[in-house]
Structure 1
Amino acid sequence: MSGQEESDKGVDMWSSLRCLGYLSSFNLLVAVCLGMYVRWEQTAEPMILVIFILGLFVSAIACILYYYFSMESASLSLFHLWFGFLQGLLCFLNSPSLEKDIKEQVTNYLLLASVAVRTLWALTERLCGNATYKPVVLTSSELLELLGFGVASISLVFHKSLAMIALTFALTALIVDLRMKSPLALPNLACFAVITAVTFFQSLAIQTNPFALSCYLGRLICEPLLDVYFSGLSASERWKQFLSAGRLWRRFSLFPLTFVELAFFVLCALKLGDLKAWYLVIPGFCVFGLLWILCHMVFLVTLWCFHTKLSECQKAWAAQRSQTLNLDRIMASRGMRHFCLISERLVLFCLMSTIILGAVSWQ
């Protein structure tokens, strides 16, 4: 009988936690609908009304798929994609006249309530031990909301749209960084928050709704941020998707990294044309640029060697699957741990050279 009571108590707790999640989503739904209505009321733009009605239609379809056809994954995917798009529109379709509207103020309070309840739900779920930690770098819901927000940025002019898409990629990298428990995850989060709030939107002259933007960012970041403390997955478990990937896919990941590094170096070089004291900056750029190139060339070669050694470990693991050895022990026996410890200093030098080169170019 006691076991049955404990089981019922666990079910009741899980139901209560799910109610918190539903309440957060319901607050977001009401806030988005009210916010879109206010913007249509202020501007009389027919496209906003069309998007608003289409949003209600999509929400109804998602509910039908969820409750009547038991298509939970399709329903949630549609919900997250569309609401990422609508939250983006709430951020970008903003004007000073909306601040005095009482319905807009109610929308802002609902957005804050949504992110607060979502954070409370995520925290309570982890404190009660009901959270499930999966070795993923990015969940499907996060990916779809990021995609929807990026699509919403197309409503801006071209160069501002590109900047917002770059911000979306930066947010994606930040979420992955938090979920992987990188040593620089929390400093990166602080830098992202400061740069976004202080300089990014001001430099682009974009007047966003801070409540909608805070709600969007808070709902996405709260769970990865809490998992930095609560997640008990080991380093190899967190990187399982990458470690178990094929040799070709892992080495293919070097190309985006190389492209980003080359783009950074080119931007640093182009930035020199805007400086008045170029005769002082160019010698420093040449010295630190050479140091940057050397460090990152060695870094890329080291990454290539890492992938080679990892492929050898995977082959050895595949040949010994029937035994008690796992991939972690095989990697340790083949010197991967020592290899990574030595490479930490190289990563530090690369990071410092990047900071110095950026400071010289963007002073």
Structure 2
Amino acid sequence: MVGKLLKRIVGRKLINIQQINLSYCLHFLKRCCQVFIMNIKDFRAKLTVVYLGYVSDVMLTVALALGLYTEWTNSSNTVVLLISLCGLFVCVISCALQYYFNYTSGGKALLHIWLGCILGVITFNDSQEYQYETLQESMNILLISSTVFGWFWSICERFLQKKKYNAGMFSPAECLESLGLAIGSLVIGTVDSIAITICIVAFILNLTAIRLKSLLGVLTLISLFSFFIFIFLPSLAGISDGGVHRNVNVYGLMCFAGRHLFEPVVDLYFSNLSTLERWQAFFIKSGFTRRLVIAFIFLLNLVSGSLIGRLSANHKEWFVVVPLFSVFAVVWLCFHILYLISTWKLMNKITECNLTYNCLSEDNRSMNRILASKGIRHFSLISRRIIFLTLITTILLMGVGWETKTNYSIGLVMTILPIEAVTLSLFWELGDNLGGTCTGYALIAPHTCQRSNGGAKLLSAMNVQEIGSRATATLNKIQQFFSFNMIDNYGCDFSSSGITADYLKSKVMQFFERRTGDGPRYDTYLLYYCGDCHDSGDWALTGNGSLKFDTLIEWWTQKNGESGSRLLLVCDTQHSWRWAQDVSKIDDNYVALQTCKFTRVPDPEFGDKLTVGTFTDDWVTYNLTDDIEPAWSDKKRIVRGVYKVSKYWTNFVFHLPTVEDIEEHWDSNFPKFTKPLIKGVNFCETGGLCCICDGIRQFVKRKRMQWLPPKASETGHGFKLVRS
């Protein structure tokens, strides 16, 4: 009786415990459902953005497992079994590193190498005997499906704006899987793994060219695919191993190429990074690293040229081919020496730009302005012709050695082509999109309200102190303007006692004679003046002297000649706006005047705060922040902006290299024995093919500037001319 009672009590307790556990479970499930319903939108977003990204890799893993199983069941090859076991072991280690030791990068690296290695084993060990089996066909379907699903995931990620675009030349996944693919081809031993590795490297370099926004990289990629499909694959398909004819699994190659090619191509549209911003991943490397890369590229060129030259000796008509190749090789080598020197010089300039960039504050950093201020635009306009001819000689080298070609020779050329193509794109971008060079000189004198008859008013000590402090503030402001826009500062002269005529002529003439470090004249000469002036707009000098507008233009014409440079006058005075009509009549020089006009005459004697110097403060602030208060168009504004340009100002283009510039550049940078090649560089000068259309366009721009001048006119140096 006691035993039955105990059993009943224990049974009831167990039932109660089970009921309690069940109620807890139901409550937990109910709570989960409530949370799920409340956050269903967030869950969908996470499902789309996070978890779907793994589906492609899962499908690829299943496909590779099917491929290994099919290979093992049909061939009973113990090597395949060992590879499968090693792959399983690596997969376990990868998961442990990622989720247990929280070492995500190491775990993903092992996973990508393993995926690439297994893909290489399956791709280069495909037998024709069982290529139509169900498991093999299922594997091929999964390979293509994983690629397509990866594309879909990439598009969704970009449409949902979950993709962060960073400057980079390589993707870790593509590099690691490429390494694994090369290892897989080496493990199989039935294919030429060296030639396959060269093709893989060429493919990665083409992806880099596309990632750096080089349209020429697309053409080199198409050339690589053509070579691989029509020349390389047939040579691999003819290899037999132990009496079993081995083929290359095209679906595996399509999976590998599709996984890594899609994102760089679509990012040409989706990524808002400019070409120069994408190159920052390489520019920020140390100078030693960048020069080492350039030296390695030159060595790679020498290896490819030597190999093609060695193979040309095997031609059946070697007695004709070898001498012709020798003559061409001299030209080819000379251009590649010029390529080496040009890229080396560019890296030196990039190092200087990096030092300048690191010295500036974060608000004042702009690599484009720094590059423009170092004269890289003019350097690139000359160098891009050399790089273009270098690329042509590389293509011709492949044509010369076509009859005696091998997979190695063509593979090496296909490796070099994207490098030279992306280099040409870089120099083209630097030449077309960087601003020109600009130098500036500022003259500042205290504004004392000069009378039209040359007399001066007596001011109190307080007013004199205020005038001096205002001139000092103007000096600091214009120096800040020069620094922000990377204008080569010739000097900012401040004279508390006024400016003499002889001193002014000496300094201005020296300023107009200035040249860049590479030799050519600056594109723009900015001359700033703030101080007294007469009612006619002429600058007031000491000893009742003055500087007339015609005299200033005469000095400019004498020093500028026919160089095509332009003069920009920025005058913060009371009456300089009277020079505006004189500027508009100039038809033989590019001249612009930026000045101001007061709606009422300021007088510091009566405590008027809107005095000379106010316009400089507003104009500089506008060009630094693109915003001022009150706005230039505000009718209540007392200091109004005025600018006027010469008749053909809109026809101005930044300095283009002339024959003399190229010769000077050649003499100062390249060896003398390459001087005969200068004719080819001059022949490649790109002029206006549609001169009639150019003339019409210039005429329309000129008339628009005369009749409907814009409120703000861009100068091409990062600052604008403004009018109210």
TM-score by length of structure 1 reads: 0.92
Match of 1:100 in 2: 132
Match of 1:252 among 253, 275, 292: 292
For 1:287, the aligned partner's letter is V
Q: Which moved more, 1:184-193 or 1:284-293?
A: 284-293
Distance 2:321 2:60 in 1: 49
For 1:325, the aligned partner's letter is R
Match of 1:28 in 2: 60
1:42 positional shift: 0.8
Unaligned stretches of 5+ in structure 1? 1-6
1:159 positional shift: 7.7
Instruction: Give aligned-pair identity as a percent.
Output: 31
Distance 2:191 2:309 in 1: 20
1:172 positional shift: 1.7
Q: Is the 8 A contact 2:295 2:340 kept in 1?
A: no
Distance 2:190 2:387 in 1: 35
Distance 2:258 2:368 in 1: 35
Question: Alpha-carbon deviations, 1:81-135, whole Å to 9, x = none?
Answer: 1111111111112111121211111111111111110111112222332222111
SS at match of 2:161: coil
1:229 positional shift: 2.2
Match of 2:179 among 147, 150, 160: 147
The answer to which structure, 1 or 2, has the higher relative contact order (CA under 8 A, 6+ apart) is 1
Unaligned stretches of 5+ in structure 2? 1-38, 240-246, 404-724
Match of 1:269 among 279, 289, 309: 309
1:33 positional shift: 0.5
Match of 2:8 in 1: none
Q: Is the 8 A contact 2:313 2:322 kept in 1?
A: no
Distance 2:189 2:102 in 1: 41
Distance 2:262 2:132 in 1: 30
Q: Is the 8 A contact 1:316 1:330 kept in 2?
A: yes
1:11 positional shift: 6.0
SS at match of 1:184: helix
1:354 positional shift: 1.2
Q: Is the 8 A contact 2:185 2:191 kept in 1?
A: no
1:346 positional shift: 1.3
Distance 1:313 1:214 in 2: 42
Match of 1:130 in 2: 162
2:248 is the alignment partner of 1:216 = no
2:102 is the alignment partner of 1:88 = no
Distance 1:233 1:210 in 2: 34
Match of 1:53 among 85, 96, 114: 85
1:41 positional shift: 0.6
- The structure number with the bigger radius of gyration is 2
Match of 1:75 among 107, 114, 117: 107
For 1:284, the aligned partner's letter is L
Q: Is the 8 A contact 1:153 1:164 kept in 2?
A: yes
Match of 2:196 among 164, 167, 172: 164
Q: What are the equivalent positions in structure 2 for 1:316-355 lying under 5 Å apart?
A: 316-321=356-361, 324-355=364-395
> Cα RMSD between the aligned structures?
2.2
1:189 positional shift: 1.7
Match of 2:153 in 1: 121
Distance 2:84 2:357 in 1: 54
Distance 1:182 1:117 in 2: 27
2:281 is the alignment partner of 1:241 = yes
1:68 positional shift: 4.1
For 2:161, the aligned partner's letter is G
1:9 positional shift: 4.4
TM-score by length of structure 2 reads: 0.47
Q: 1:85 to 1:19 in 2, by over 3 A?
A: same
Q: Is the 8 A contact 1:92 1:209 kept in 2?
A: yes
Question: Alpha-carbon deviations, 1:122-176, whole Å to 9, x = none?
Answer: 1222233222211111122222111111111212449811111112211221221
Aligned residues: 358
Question: Alpha-carbon deviations, 1:65-86, whole Å to 9, x = none?
Answer: 4344443323222211111111
Distance 1:219 1:201 in 2: 20
Distance 1:52 1:236 in 2: 45
Distance 2:307 2:319 in 1: 18
Distance 2:189 2:110 in 1: 27
SS at match of 2:364: coil
Distance 2:191 2:387 in 1: 32
Structure ranking higher in helix proportion: 1
1:290 positional shift: 2.0
2:229 is the alignment partner of 1:197 = yes
1:297 positional shift: 1.0
For 1:309, the aligned partner's letter is K
2:355 is the alignment partner of 1:315 = yes
